[in-house]
Every structure is written in C-alpha cells, then in structure tokens.
Amino acid sequence: MWADTILIVVISVCTALLGEGLIWLLVYRTEKYQKLKIEVEKGSKKLERRREGMSDSLDKQQKKKIEREEERLKNNNRDMSFVKMKSMLAIGFVFTALLGMFNSIFDGRVVAFLPFQPISLVQNLTHRNLPGEDYTECSFIFLYILSTMSIRQNIQKLLGFAPSRVVAKQGGGLFGPNVTGQQFK
Amino acid sequence: MNKNYQQIRAAQQKLLKDKQSNEISVLKKAFTRCSQWDDKDEFLDVIYWSRQIIGIVAGIIWGLIPLKGFFGIILFVAVNAGIIYFYFMNFQKIDEEEYGGSWELTKEGFMSSFAGFLVMWIIIYTGVHHT
C-alpha cells in the first residue's frame, strides 16, 4: 500500500510539472503574454505606490489619474486572462481525462490510512468508491487533491509562474476579485 | 516585433540575475535579528517558504510519533501560526501594519503548507504504522 501512496504523490508532481510545462509552452513564453505581464506588474506597483502616498484631501486631478490608471490596469488584466483562457481550457480537458484514468486505475483501492477521522463533509472525498465503514481509509482522489494543492503552488512559485502579490492584490484578472471593487471612492 | 521580443528577454534575464544574487542576501537577512526589509515581497517569501518547511517537518514528526485525530491538526495549526508569529513579532520585530495586519502574515502560504503537512503526515503514518 505504501507504494501506492508514494506513487500518487509522484503522479501529482508529474502532472503539476506537465501542466506548468504545457502552460509555459502555450502561454507564458508568448511575446504577447510576457509584454502584458510586465505591463500589469509595473501598473500594479505604480498604483499601489500612488495609493500609499495619497493624502486624505485629494484634488480632482489626482483622483482622475488614479482612476485612469485603474482602468488601464483592468484592461491589461482582462487581456491577460483572455490570452490564458483558451489554453487553460484545453489543458483543463486533458487533466480531467487524466484524472479519470487514474481514478479508474485506483478505483476501490485503499491507498493510505488517515491518522484522523475526517468530518462527514469530506468523507465523500476521502472514502470515495471504497467499501466498508472504516473512514480512516483513504481513497486516491483525496490524496491526489491534497498533494496537488501543495505541490502545484510551490512549483509555480519556484518557477516564477505565480502571479506576484501586488498583481493578485489588485485583482488577478477575469476570475479574480475585480479591480473596480477596490476603486477609489 | 523581433526587437521588442529581445528587449523583453533582456529585461527578464536581468530580473533573473538580480533575483539569484538577491536570494543569498535574503537568506542572510532571514536569520539575522531585526533585519531591515525594504521589499515587502522578500519578507513575505521568507514567511511563505518557512511555512512550507514547517509543514513538511511537522508532517514527518506527527507521522513518526504518531499523533492522531483532530488534536494533531489543531496542534499543527497552533505550532505553525505560533512559530511564524514569534518569528515576525519577536525575532524580526517588523511593523505588521505595513503588511496589512498580523492576520495577513499569519495566513501567508498557510493553505499549501497545511496540504503539505497533511500529505507528509498521511504518508509517514501509513508507511510506518500500517505496513
């Protein structure tokens, strides 16, 4: 059983690397994306500096400047999301298929033992397709999700693919919190 | 078009070079008491990576002992938050308001550290006590 446990962690490392590699190939290395990324990063930093440096009594011109910059940043963020979206969707499909395949390989197999009794909300995941009532038995999907959660983010950070904090704070694109939500009032 | 691309590449390479030389000095600063952190991101990165290390080490220890049940999870959350809180309040003595309050620092990289902890805990526990 321990071999299965280790194998699943190795699988999740491989899929995370493959995923990031594919996204790099299709998105990150393109000139359009890199240009947008640099622009968004610069814009976010500039905007944050302005926000930090602003006093309570702002004249109209300063307000307008900040708003204009927010607008530009929002547009760039949106463009960046569009560049990413198509490839992300394609990769999403590939990974759903891969996950389905692994799921059927490990179907009904106990791959690990949990050192705790999971709450009923996650028992559906931890005990998926497993026979019996021993809820400390762990199914493939739970371990896979957990290891992907930690490994993927760390790989992104190591390779420098993770969006910088300033950008994330300003709203990470189409699916992130909207920039307009933080607009200056 | 091509020239533009070369410019971007050059800018990126410069960034990478700066980053590499920077990493060593950041490591030094991380172990020095009350260091001066001009770049907030640097300090947040230190917090992030120390969290990941704490998660993995705690996972191994918890699995070897073995600690079991929700007590293990709660103890991990307390240890993780406690060490980081002690590190930025007593060791580095930073002004947490600059980073948006101590809550922002306490939750930096918490989820991936927690996931890493659970994976290590489960692997070691299964390997040592169930095979």
ipTM over 0.85: no
Residue pLDDT, tens place only, A87-111: 889 888 988 999 999 999 999 899 9
Our CA-based measurement puts residue A93 at a distance from the nearest CA of chain B, in whole angstroms, of 24
- Contact check, Cβ <8 Å, B1/A116: no
C-alpha A101: how far from its chain's center?
23
Q: Which residue among A38, A112, A160 places its CB closest to the CB of B122?
A: A112
Global pTM reads: 0.82
Q: Which of B131 and A108 is assigned the larger pLDDT?
A: A108
Q: With pLDDT > 70 as the criterion, what percentage of chain A qualifies?
A: 88
Q: Measure the CA–CA gap between A150 and B111, rounded to whole angstroms.
A: 8
Q: Measure the CA–CA gap between B108 and B51, rounded to whole angstroms.
A: 8
pLDDT band at A171; cut points 50, 70, 90: low
pLDDT band at A161; cut points 50, 70, 90: confident
Q: Contacts of residue B111 in chain A, CB cutoff 8 Å?
A: 149
- Contact check, Cβ <8 Å, A149/B55: no
Our CA-based measurement puts residue B27 at a distance from the nearest CA of chain A, in whole angstroms, of 15
- What pLDDT does residue B40 have? 80
Which of A97-101, B29-33, B84-88 is least confident?
Answer: B29-33
Residue pLDDT, tens place only, A109-153: 999 999 999 998 999 889 988 988 889 999 999 999 999 999 999
DSSP string, A110-167: --EE-SS---HHHHHHHTTT--SS-TTEE-HHHHHHHHHHHHHHHHHHHHT-SPPHHH
Q: Contacts of residue A34 in chain B, CB cutoff 8 Å?
A: 8, 12
Q: Which of A21 and B24 is assigned the larger pLDDT?
A: A21
- Write the Ramachandran bin of A173: left for phi over 0, alpha for psi from -120 to 50, otherwise beta: left
Mean pLDDT (chain A, rounded): 83
Of B90, A92, A169, nearest to A177 by C-alpha is A169
Interhelix angle B40-64/B69-86, nearest 10 degrees? 150
pLDDT at A172 over 80: no
- What pLDDT does residue B23 have? 79
pLDDT at A40 over 90: no
